[in-house]
Amino acid sequence: MGGMADQRAVQYDQTGGPEVLRLADVPVPTPGEGRALLEVRAVGINPYDAKVLSGRVPGTTPFPRGIGSDVAGVVTAVGPDATYADGTPVTVGDTVFGWGMNTLRERLVVRTSSVAPVPAGLPLSIAGALATPGLAAAACWDAVPVSAEDVVLVSPASGTVGFLLSQWAVRAGAQVIGTTSRANSERVRDAGITPVAYGPGLAERVTAAAGRPLTAVFDSVGRETLDAAAELGVPPQRVVTLADDDVAAEFGVRTTAAATRSTARLVEVAATIASGEVMFPVAAVFGLDRVAEAFALLETGHPGGKIVVAPAGS
């Protein structure tokens, strides 16, 4: 539908690295039925975003393309029948979080069933970065629940998904071993996780660190972790991976492919962070005009927390 004014949005005209990102003036859309217009306050960028930008995950839409999926913002307008997933009306002034399409922009129309009110005490920088990693972690947990009897390997434990899973497992009373780089080992240890290095010999290091049989594995790396799990005799039904589906099929382990996004589940995840039960580190917050710097930091692979872009006022 027609726009009310112009806004700035991140776009790119060809696949590549952070250098292909640019700001463009685009119309502010009007929300239709079941939609709301947000003033975007925070957008977390994810490794998947970098894969799409680079072309490693092929895009199907014509150029110029937008980017981003997670979001937090303030509702500035609503369309007809704008309700949350539980049927509660969405109102102007609500502060919400969830997911959308091409969220790296100043104003964004979202399906109101894809957002929820931000829980009290949850910073917007975290709320806007939570949907993708939080729901991925929840899907892994639902696939392989963990209790105090378990000895768990999380790989990597210092990534956003793995750090959430590791902390939930620690809270459940499990013994948790986590792969990490040396730079992040102290943060992992402080959370009650025993750090081990990546690389050849992983199974031996895990055995030495655990002192008893491994019973569950959460993986975001792929073959290296799954090889170690198989070597240590972990039943495939107690292993879940976010890595390539072909590799998962080869090892016969669980995936999250059938998981569906739920704002109710997202709110549950957010509540554990807002209450202080678990940590969700934010490594850096960039203005919209520094989005290329944000993606460059993401590409280092070890930012030490989520990278967030804050479009409003940047």
Cβ atoms within 10 Å of 313's Cβ, excluding its own = 9
pLDDT of residue 1: 42
What φ, ψ does residue 175 adopt, rounded to 5°?
Answer: -85, 125
- Quick: pLDDT tens for 159-199: 999 999 999 999 999 999 999 999 899 999 999 999 999 99
> Smallest Cα–Cα separation from 269: which of 174, 165, 179, 193?
165
In CATH terms, the fold of domain 134-251 is Rossmann fold (3.40.50)
H or E element, residue 151: strand 151-155
Going by C-beta distance under 8 Å and a sequence separation of 6 or more, which residues neighbour residue 145? none
What is the CATH number assigned to the segment(s) 6-130+280-310? 3.90.180.10
Residue 2 pLDDT = 46
> For the residues 302-313, what does the mean pLDDT come to?
87
Q: Is the pLDDT of residue 302 over 90?
A: no
* Positive or negative torsion for Cα 186, 284, 282, 144: negative
Tokens 């049927």, located at residue: 87
| pLDDT one-digit tens code per residue, 95-138 | 999 999 999 999 999 999 999 999 999 999 999 999 999 999 99
Instruction: Map out the domains of the chain as residue ranges.
Output: 6-130+280-310, 134-251
